[in-house]
Amino acid sequence: MRLPNTFDKENLAGIGHQLHQFAAELYPICRSITGEGIRRTLRMIGDRIRLQISEVPSGTQVFDWMVPKEWNIKDAYIKDRSGRRVVDFQKCNLHVLNYSVPIHATMPLGEIKPHLFTIPAHPDWIPYRTSYYKEDWGFCLSHNQLVALPDGDYEVCIDSTLADGSLTYGECFLPGQSSDEILISCHACHPSLANDNLSGLTVATELAKLLAECSSDLHYSYRFLFIPGTIGAITWLARNREATSRIRHGLVLTCIGDRAPFHYKKSRRGDADIDRVVAHVLSHLTEEPEFLEFSPYGYDERQYCSPGFNLAVGCLMRSVWGSFPEYHTSADNLDFIEPLRLAESLRVCATTLEVLENNRHYRNLSPFCEPQLGRRGLYRPTGGDSIPNEINARQWVLNLSDGENSLLDIAERSHLPFSVIYEAAVLLRENGLLELVPEPRDREKVPTKVANRNTGPNS
Amino acid sequence: MRLPNTFDKENLAGIGHQLHQFAAELYPICRSITGEGIRRTLRMIGDRIRLQISEVPSGTQVFDWMVPKEWNIKDAYIKDRSGRRVVDFQKCNLHVLNYSVPIHATMPLGEIKPHLFTIPAHPDWIPYRTSYYKEDWGFCLSHNQLVALPDGDYEVCIDSTLADGSLTYGECFLPGQSSDEILISCHACHPSLANDNLSGLTVATELAKLLAECSSDLHYSYRFLFIPGTIGAITWLARNREATSRIRHGLVLTCIGDRAPFHYKKSRRGDADIDRVVAHVLSHLTEEPEFLEFSPYGYDERQYCSPGFNLAVGCLMRSVWGSFPEYHTSADNLDFIEPLRLAESLRVCATTLEVLENNRHYRNLSPFCEPQLGRRGLYRPTGGDSIPNEINARQWVLNLSDGENSLLDIAERSHLPFSVIYEAAVLLRENGLLELVPEPRDREKVPTKVANRNTGPNS
Amino acid sequence: MRLPNTFDKENLAGIGHQLHQFAAELYPICRSITGEGIRRTLRMIGDRIRLQISEVPSGTQVFDWMVPKEWNIKDAYIKDRSGRRVVDFQKCNLHVLNYSVPIHATMPLGEIKPHLFTIPAHPDWIPYRTSYYKEDWGFCLSHNQLVALPDGDYEVCIDSTLADGSLTYGECFLPGQSSDEILISCHACHPSLANDNLSGLTVATELAKLLAECSSDLHYSYRFLFIPGTIGAITWLARNREATSRIRHGLVLTCIGDRAPFHYKKSRRGDADIDRVVAHVLSHLTEEPEFLEFSPYGYDERQYCSPGFNLAVGCLMRSVWGSFPEYHTSADNLDFIEPLRLAESLRVCATTLEVLENNRHYRNLSPFCEPQLGRRGLYRPTGGDSIPNEINARQWVLNLSDGENSLLDIAERSHLPFSVIYEAAVLLRENGLLELVPEPRDREKVPTKVANRNTGPNS
C-alpha cells in the first residue's frame, strides 16, 4: 500500500495551511464531554469524512462509570455594579469552569473568590478547569483581571443546563482486506484549546480522508474515534468489547501542532509493533524524537492499555501534556500551533500506517549463497564503484528473509528506512527471488482452529 | 507487615548510639574461629535476643573440611632484656597472629623477625593476621614498633592452647506464617576490629530484636546466624542441608558501620528477588549506592552461593573488604564506625525485610478501563490540580495488577518507592478494587503435588 | 590443546619477517578469479602446507551462478606514437581492468578515455578495477599519468584470453578427533594488493602449518580454503553442501597486515561462539579492538552467512574494506603491511583456535561450599596476603562449574583471560575437584538419536 500523498516540501506547506484553517474553524466552539459543542464539532468533521455519530444516554453504566448528565451553556459573566461584564464567556469560553451548574446571583467579591481560578505565574493567561463529576460552579480568569477587581458586590451568572441527555462520539470505520484493525483515537471535548486537542482532531480527520482515498488497497481495517476524553473512551470500550479483540495497533493523537520535537509514549506492552514502527518512523523522519515509557496517566491510552484490554496503543505527541506552560491555558491558542508542524505530524502518522500496512514476512527463494543480482540488472555494473542504499537494501532483504524476519526487523537491523527496504522487497519479488509468507500469527491460526478471536480482548 | 520502628531522624540518632555502645562492649574481646572469645560474644548477643548456641567437636567432617582444634589464649608478649613488654597482647589482641601455637623462648631478634608482621605503608597501625590451618606462631606490630627494636635477645611468649574442643556458633530462629525462610548471616570471629565485623554483629542483633517484637505478623520465618567466617558457614550448611531448601532470600552483613556509601554484592544468581529488593531500597533510601556483580571471593556468601546450594544470598557492605586501608588493621577501630551509619544500615536492612514481607501479587478486580477513583474519594476533586505520588501509585497498581506483576515489579516500573506502592495496594484492596493472588511459586505447587521441597538445596 | 608456538616478543618478530617475505613472493603475480595467477599462488601455498587443488570447469552451475570463462593475460599496454609504453602491464598488473577481453587497436585518446580509470583524489595511485561478469576492456592508471597524455592516437593492446577453462581453488583439511569442523577462508584472487588479501593468505597458510604440527592433539577438524572471492566461495559451497553441516565455527581472514586496530565483523547469528571467542581474545590481547555487526556486504562471510547456510562465520580484519584510502589501489602494497602486524594477527587467530579447542564444560565434584584448597596446596598459606589471579581463577571455575557454564562463560563472567581459567580447570581436574561433562550439543544427541547431521546446512 502506498498513500496517494507524497509529503514533499511544497505539499507540506499546503497541507499545513488546510489543517490550520480547519483548526481555526473549530477553535471558537465551547466543547465539553457532552452537549452541543462536541455535536457541532463532530458535524464539521463529518463534512470531511464519513462519520457515524453515536448518542449514549445519561445514566448508562459503562464499566465502573456512568454516563453523566449533558451539559450545555448559553452565556456566563460576572458584572460589576455598573453593569459592565468584567468576566465574559462571550469573549472566551475558558472563562467558565467547564460543567458549571447554573447560577444567577449577586454577591460580594469575597464570596465569589473561592470559585475563581487564575494562574499567578502567568498573569495574562486564563486557565482551563473542569468539574465533571462534582457539581460546582466557577470562573477562570487572568490573574491581572482578578487583582484589578475592586471589592464590592458583583452579579454572577452562568446560564447553563445540566440535565439528562446523552454523550456523543463519532466513529469513522474504513474496512480493509483484513478484519484486523488499526485504531486512531483523539479526544474532542476541549473548548478553545488548540494544541490540546484541535491538533489531534484535524490531523486525524485528514488522515482518515487520505486512507479513504485508497481504501481499496488497505490491508487493515481502520477505526477513527473522535470522543470525549476518559468517559468517551470508556463508553466506547464498554459498548465495543467485541471489536477490541480485532485491534492490532493503535495511536492516540494529541498535542501534535506545536514546535516541540516529537514525543512518543509507548504502549503498556512496551515492545509492540506500533512502538517499534513509530520509533523507526520518528528516528528516520524527524529531529531528536524522544520516547517515553508507558505510564497509567495521560490521555485515553490509559483506558486502551488498562489491564483487561492491554491493547497495543501508544500516544503520539510533540509537547507532553502538563510539561509545557501553555498547557490547559488560553495561551494554547491558534498561534501556538503551526501549519508546518501539523503537516509534519500528518506525515509521521501516514508513514507509520504505511509501515504497518507493508510490514510483511518474505522468504528468499534462492537462500544458498547470494543470488547473482548482476545478471538481473539489480547490481552495479563495474566492480569498484560505491554501492547505493538501494542495492544494500536488496542484499539485506535477501540475507534476512528466512521467513522469520519481518521487513521492519530488516529495516531495524540494517538501519535503512523502511521504505527503502520495502521497495527492495517489491523489486526482488517481481524478479522471482522472494515470496511472501503467512504472518506468524496467521501461521499459528491454521493448525489450532480452536482459537476464538472474540473470546476476550486480551487475546 | 510493618516494623514497629519508624527510623525518623531523632530515632536514628538514638538507635545509632545503642548500636555503637554494644559494639564498644564487644570490641575488647579476643575472638577467633573457635574458643572462649566467640563464646563470650555469643552470650552477650544472647542477652539481647533468643540465641541457640551449638558446639561442634573438633575433628567433625563438614563437607570437604574438618572442624579445627579449639584455640584459646591467656597472654602473649615480647619482652626485652630489661623485662619490658615491647609487644603486649594485653594492650591489643591483634598483636598475636591469630591461632598461634604456644611458645616460650628467648631468641635473638633476627630469629624472631620471620614471625613478625607489620604494615610499612601505615607505620602506626597493627595488622591483623591469622594462621588457622597451618600451625605457626607470630606477632603483629606497628612498623614503628619494629624499627625501634634494637638487636639482641628477646623473651617471646604466647600462652595459648590449641587442643580438641569445639567450634561454637549462635542461631536465632523466628518462626513466621510461612516455613519459607530469610537468612541473615554475619561472622563473629574477628578480634578487636570494628567495621569488620562488629558492625554486622550489632546490626543483625538489633534487627532480630525488632522482628521478634512483631513476630506474630511475620510472613517469612527468619534465621540469624552468628558464626565463625568460612568454617562456621560450612559447618552450619553441612549440619542443616535440609533447612537450606527453605531459604528464599538471604543477606550477609559486614562492614556496615563506616562512612562509605553502600555497596551491595549480588547473589550468584544476579537477578534474585533479594538483589532487586536491595537495589530498590538502596536507590530510594541512600546516596550513590554501588552494586557489585557476584564473585567467588568475599565473605560467607561464597559458601551460600557455592554451586551445590546457589542460594539467593547477597552481601551488604558500606566499604568493601580489602579496598579500604583500615581493613584488617588496628585502624578499623571504634572511631572508624559511626553511630548514625550503623543506624542507617539497620534501616536499610529493616526496609529490605519489609519489602520482602509485603511483596505480593494482586489482581485488579475492575480491569476494564480505569475504575472511577473519584467517587470513592481516591482521586483529586478538581480537574487541573497536580497529582501527588499517592494517587499515581494507585493508578500504577491498578494498571499493572494483572496477577503477573508483583508490587516490586510495579515499584520498579513506576520508579516510586515500594512503600508508596504497598500503601496504594492496601487502600485499593480495602476499597474492593484489588484481590491478593497466590504467589507464582505457590500456584505451581498446587497442580504438581509431586514437588518435594526437601529433596535438594537447589530447588 | 596447546599450540607449539609461544608468540613471545622475539618470536613475533621472526614470525612476522617470514610472513612478510612470503607476501613479497606472492605480490608480483597477476591473480584473478580464474587462470594461471591463482594456480601459481596455490602451488606456492602448497609448498608450505598440504593443499588439495580443485578445478571446476567453466559453465558449471553453482547455485544461482555459473563458473565463468577462464581469464589469462600475457601483456598489455598503451603506446604513444613514438612507440613508448605510456601505460605498461609489465610494470604493474593493476594497470589492466581485471578480466579485460583482448583488444589490439589504434585509436584517438578521446575514444580510449571511457576505458580509463583513475583516482583524482590520489593522483599518484593506480586503482584496481574488475569486470568479471560484463565483457569489457580497460586500463587503470594514475591520474597524473592520464593528465600528462597529449591528445592524439595511441596503440592499445591487451593480450589476454577469455575462454573455457576452469576455476581453481585450494583446500587444506586437517582431521581432528571430532568430525566437527572449523573453517578458515580467505580469497586468493587479487593481483598486486598486499593487505587485501596477501595478508590473509600468508597468515592462513602459517596457521595451517602450526595446526598441522600438533594435529594429533586437535579436537576439531580444520578446513582452510584459498578461493577466488564470491564465485569461489559459492562454488565451494555448492560442491560441499554436505560438509557445511559439520562447520561449527569459522573465520574469513582479510586485511590483517596493516597498522589499524583489529575489527571483527560478527557472524549473522551475532552471538555465536566464534563471535564471543574473538571478542574475548581481541579484548585481552589487543588495543582498542572494534566489533561490527553483521551486514550482507563484505567478503565471503556473505556466502557462508546466506540464510540457507547461516554458518557461524565471522570476519577478522584490521582496516575495514572500503574504509581506508589505500583500499583497492596500488598504495595497498608491501609497505602498507608490516611484519609485526602480520605476526600479531597470526597470534590472534591461533589464540582464538586454542580457546575454541579448550572451551569445555566441567562439573565441580565438591559443589557444596568451597573445597579446602589450602590442604591441597592450591591456596595462599597465610591469611591476609593478597590473592593472585591464578587462585581467583580456581575459585571462579569451582563456583561456576555446575555443568551449565563453559570455560568461556567463566572467563567472560570473571573478566579473566581464558588461558588463566583453562589452566585453573586443568589443575583442579588433576586434583580430582572437577570432571569434564559432555557438551550440551552432544548431550542432546544422545536421547534423540533421530537427528541427522547431514540433512541440512542449517542444523
Q: How far apart are the first and last CA of chain B?
A: 27
Give the range among A163-177, A377-391, C344-358 with minimum mean pLDDT. Answer: A377-391
Q: Given an 8 Å threshold on Cβ–Cβ distance, is C130 in contact with A372?
A: no
So what's the pLDDT on residue B443?
63
CA distance C425 to C438: 15
Mean pLDDT on A260-278: 98
So what's the pLDDT on residue B383?
55
| Chain centroid, CA B27 distance in Å | 18
So what's the pLDDT on residue B9?
78
Q: Is the ipTM of this complex over 0.90?
A: yes
Q: Any idea how long chain C is?
A: 459
Q: How far apart are the first and last CA of chain A?
A: 27
Q: Given an 8 Å threshold on Cβ–Cβ distance, is B307 in contact with C392?
A: no
Give the residue from C361, C368, C435 with the most B CB atoms within 10 Å of its CB, the best one to mutate.
C368
pLDDT at A320 over 60: yes
- Shortest distance between the Cα of B306 and any Cα of chain C, in A, equals 5
Read off the pLDDT of residues C30-46 as tens digits, 9 standing for 90 and up: 999 999 999 999 999 99
**DSSP state at residue B182:** E
**Amino acid at the residue C380:** R
Can you list the residues of chain C whose pLDDT is less than 50? 446-459
So what's the pLDDT on residue B2?
76
Give the residue on A whose Cα is nearest the Cα of B401: A307
Q: What percent of chain A has pLDDT over 90?
A: 88
Q: Which residues of chain C neighbour A381 with C-beta distances below 8 Å? A: 134
- Shortest distance between the Cα of C399 and any Cα of chain B, in A, equals 6
- Shortest distance between the Cα of A62 and any Cα of chain B, in A, equals 10
Alpha helices in A153-272 (DSSP H): 199-213, 231-239, 241-244
CA distance C347 to C351: 6
Q: Given an 8 Å threshold on Cβ–Cβ distance, is A131 in contact with B383?
A: yes
Q: Given an 8 Å threshold on Cβ–Cβ distance, is A302 in contact with B370?
A: yes
Tally C-beta pairs within 8 A across A and B: 84
Q: Which residues of chain A neighbour B367 with C-beta distances below 8 Å? A: 306-308
Residue A269 buriedness (CB in 10 A; 0-12 / 13-18 / 19+):
middle
Count Cα atoms within 13 angstroms, Cβ side, for A206.
Answer: 29
Q: Given an 8 Å threshold on Cβ–Cβ distance, is C307 in contact with A364?
A: yes
Q: Given an 8 Å threshold on Cβ–Cβ distance, is B401 in contact with A303?
A: no
Give the residue on B whose Cα is nearest the Cα of A130: B383
- Shortest distance between the Cα of A133 and any Cα of chain B, in A, equals 8
Give the residue on A whose Cα is nearest the Cα of C233: A369
CA distance A281 to C337: 44
- Is A165 within 8 Å of A70 (Cβ atoms)? yes
The angle formed by the CA atoms of residues C34, C37 and C39, to the nearest 5 degrees, is 75
Give the residue on B whose Cα is nearest the Cα of C404: B307
- Nearest CB to C307 within list A381, A383, A399: A399
Q: Given an 8 Å threshold on Cβ–Cβ distance, is B306 in contact with C399?
A: yes
Contact residues of C toward B, CB < 8 A: 364, 366-372, 374-375, 381-384, 386-387, 392, 395-396, 398-402, 413-414
- Shortest distance between the Cα of A76 and any Cα of chain B, in A, equals 20
Query: What is the DSSP pairing of strand B313-317 with strand B434-437?
Result: unpaired
Helix axes B339-358, B418-430, angle to 10 degrees: 40
List the chains bordering chain C where 3 or more Cβ pairs fall under 8 Å. A, B
- Residue the block writes with cell 596493516: C258
- Is A219 within 8 Å of A178 (Cβ atoms)? yes
pLDDT along chain B (459 residues), means of 10: 75 95 98 98 98 98 98 98 97 98 97 97 97 95 97 97 98 96 98 97 97 93 98 98 96 98 98 98 97 96 98 98 95 98 97 97 97 90 70 97 96 97 97 92 50 36
- Nearest CB to C308 within list A368, A386, A395: A368
CA distances from C217 to C176, C213, C273, C354, C443 (A): 7, 9, 21, 11, 23
Give the residue on B whose Cα is nearest the Cα of C415: B295
So what's the pLDDT on residue B452?
39
CB proximity list for B228: less than 8 A, separation 6 or greater: B32, B33, B34, B38, B167, B168, B169, B187, B188, B189
pLDDT at A61 over 50: yes
CB proximity list for A442: less than 8 A, separation 6 or greater: none
CA proximity to B185, closest of B227, B145, B157: B227
Consecutive H or E run containing A420:
helix A418-430
CA proximity to C133, closest of B27, A373, A272: A373
Torsion angle defined by CA atoms of residues C94, C100, C102 and C106, in that order, rounded to the nearest 10 degrees: -70
pLDDT at A80 over 50: yes
Q: Which residues of chain A neighbour C130 with C-beta distances below 8 Å? A: 382-384
So what's the pLDDT on residue C432?
97
Query: What is the DSSP pairing of strand B247-253 with strand B181-187?
Result: parallel
So what's the pLDDT on residue C403?
93
- What does the radius of gyration of chain A's CA atoms come to, in whole angstroms? 26
Hey, is C283 helix, strand or coil?
helix
At A7, the pLDDT band (50, 70, 90 cuts) reads confident
CA proximity to A211, closest of A98, A47, A310, A351: A351
Hey, is A42 helix, strand or coil?
helix
Q: How far apart are the first and last CA of chain C?
A: 27
pLDDT at A103 over 90: yes
Q: Which residues of chain A neighbour B375 with C-beta distances below 8 Å? A: 133
**Amino acid at the residue B14:** G
CA distance C393 to A254: 57
Q: Given an 8 Å threshold on Cβ–Cβ distance, is A237 in contact with B369?
A: yes
Read off the pLDDT of residues A134-155 as tens digits, 9 standing for 90 and up: 999 999 999 999 999 999 999 9
Give the residue from A268, A297, A310 with the most B CB atoms within 10 Å of its CB, the best one to mutate.
A297
Q: Given an 8 Å threshold on Cβ–Cβ distance, is A303 in contact with B382?
A: no
Query: What is the DSSP pairing of strand A221-227 with strand A181-187?
Result: parallel
CA distance A165 to A37: 14
- Nearest CB to B302 within list C370, C384, C386: C370
Read off the pLDDT of residues A181-218 as tens digits, 9 standing for 90 and up: 999 999 999 999 999 989 999 999 999 999 999 888 99
- Is A286 within 8 Å of A262 (Cβ atoms)? yes
